[in-house]
Amino acid sequence: MRLSVPLPQVTTVAIYMLVALTLWSPVGGSVLGGFGEPLRYAFILAVAAFLCIYAYRTSDFRISLSGDWVFLACFLIYVALSAFWSEGGANAYIKGLLVFSAMLTALSISHLRPMDEIVVIFYRGMCVFIVMSLLTVLFLPDIGIERGWEVEGDWRGLAGQKNGLGHLAALGLVGSLGLPLGAAAGRGLRPLLLRLAMVAINAVVLVNSGSRGALVSAGVGVGALLLARMPRALQRLLLLVFVALAVPLVNVILPTIELNGDKIDVLGTTLNTSNRTTIWFYGLEQLGDRPLFGFGLSGFWTPERMLVFKDTYGWVLDNFHNGYITILIEGGLVGLMLLAAAIAFLMMLYLIAIGNLRDRAVAATFAYTCMFLFGNLVENSIGRSTATTFIMFITLAFALRPYLVSRVRLGGKVPAGRPLSPALS
């Protein structure tokens, strides 16, 4: 039985609530204490359940058999099922449930809202969070500014740590530059001035977060925007140049790579990985026992392995700070290949879209996808079912094909009476 009167504003509010909950980072010293994180999980599952039920009851719920949908869904299902051979116990089962819930939620949102509206909702949610983080830094510096070793003075705002804030600011900056202003832009300067203000605020927060990875991620996003807006002939020329230079560049770079403790020397430049390589090699050395299926979701960092690591190096951090290394160790070669296939099909779809459609919403989502894929080289967001960036990535991935189909049916034009989306006005 279908609901006779869909209420779009209800689903919009629910999506905003989901964004807010994924941005929320409960701290142990808060009023909620140790109940903060369980409550957050419960609220996320409740909102997800509402969106899933509402989408099923009100929309023509269909599953595409295209490669981008199938491999992404298979990857997410595989990650969730890996909890069954994990040593993570109840924590692994909870995370598996959340990953599966995230997939169903992303599919539901892609049926309830077109992609251009979805990306604006996430953009607005992140910008509000950035403004609140800036106010926290200015008026509650004990909460908003880092005090730890090697991060003294860096901004963390409400994100809990500087890298998280930096990457959100990078996303906000690129969205402010790339997303269209909407119909209101033709009626006055207010939308333009607001957008310029958000560019400035996100840039200030990004720089003061002190996150090098976030700065590079912002560069990746801006580069993707420029690529998406280039003429198709120039896009193809750049692609041919990239393919032609890729092999020689790899041959030049590989012989210069040297690993020195937690530093990587390449082309005469030293990159400080902040002990990331130490953690990576510790995990990769033990992967030989389980190369195909890995250690399962949250199954590697057991108390025993953490103790061995601490006895060896004098410190321990149960995070690989790399999404692809994490998937390889927890999901094995099977998990990594499923992820690689999903990314390959998705990127091919994006490249076809930006080469044939002059659509700023598609350009912005392409930039966000490139930023997410790059960001996972220095942080772990893939599979983090309650992280805003992960939810946004899979939601936009599922929403892309339906949006492109609707555009093609209209001859590449935006539906009549809707400049791009009411959310953009």
pLDDT at 271: 67
Say if 195 falls within a structural domain: yes
Say if 398 falls within a structural domain: yes
> How many residues make up the chain in this entry?
425
What is the extent of the structural domain holding 349?
8-424
Q: CA 150, CA 172: separation in Å to the nearest integer?
A: 26
pLDDT at 35: 73
Q: Tell me phi and psi for residue 296, to 5 degrees.
A: 85, 165
Domain count, the chain: 1
Say if 366 falls within a structural domain: yes
Give whole-number Cα distances, 250 to 14, 77, 98, 245, in Å: 46, 34, 39, 9
Q: CA 226, CA 322: separation in Å to the nearest integer?
A: 27
Say if CB 87 and CB 296 are below 8 A apart: yes
Helices marked H in 276-322 — which ranges?
A: 276-286, 303-313
Amino acid at 269: T
Sheet holding 263-266, edge to edge: 258-260, 263-266, 269-272
Q: CA 76, CA 91: separation in Å to the nearest integer?
A: 17
Helix and strand counts by DSSP (H, E) for the chain: 15, 3
**What DSSP designation does 153 have?**
T
pLDDT tens across the length of the chain (425 residues): 444 444 568 889 999 999 999 998 776 555 555 677 888 889 999 999 999 999 988 877 778 889 999 999 999 999 999 999 999 899 999 999 999 999 999 999 999 999 999 999 999 999 999 999 999 999 999 889 988 766 778 999 998 888 899 999 999 999 999 998 754 344 567 888 899 999 999 999 999 998 988 999 999 999 999 999 888 888 888 888 887 887 787 777 777 666 666 667 666 676 666 678 888 888 888 888 889 999 999 999 999 999 998 988 888 888 888 999 999 999 999 999 999 999 999 999 999 999 888 889 999 999 999 999 999 988 888 878 889 999 999 999 999 999 998 887 765 554 433 333 333 33
For residue 304 the two structure tokens come to: 């025993």
Q: CA 16, CA 80: separation in Å to the nearest integer?
A: 25
Say if 217 falls within a structural domain: yes
For residue 341 the two structure tokens come to: 């296939």
Say if 1 falls within a structural domain: no
Helices marked H in 115-231 — which ranges?
A: 115-139, 141-144, 162-178, 190-209, 212-229
pLDDT at 272: 67
For residue 42 the two structure tokens come to: 């419960």
For residue 383 the two structure tokens come to: 């599979």
pLDDT at 263: 67
pLDDT at 27: 61
pLDDT at 333: 96
Say if 138 falls within a structural domain: yes
- DSSP symbols for 322-356: -HHHHHHHHHHHHHHHHHHHHHHHHHHHHHHHHHH
Q: CA 117, CA 16: separation in Å to the nearest integer?
A: 12
- DSSP symbols for 53-96: HHHHHHS------SHHHHHHHHHHHHHHHGGGG-S-THHHHHHH
Say if 393 falls within a structural domain: yes
Say if 15 falls within a structural domain: yes
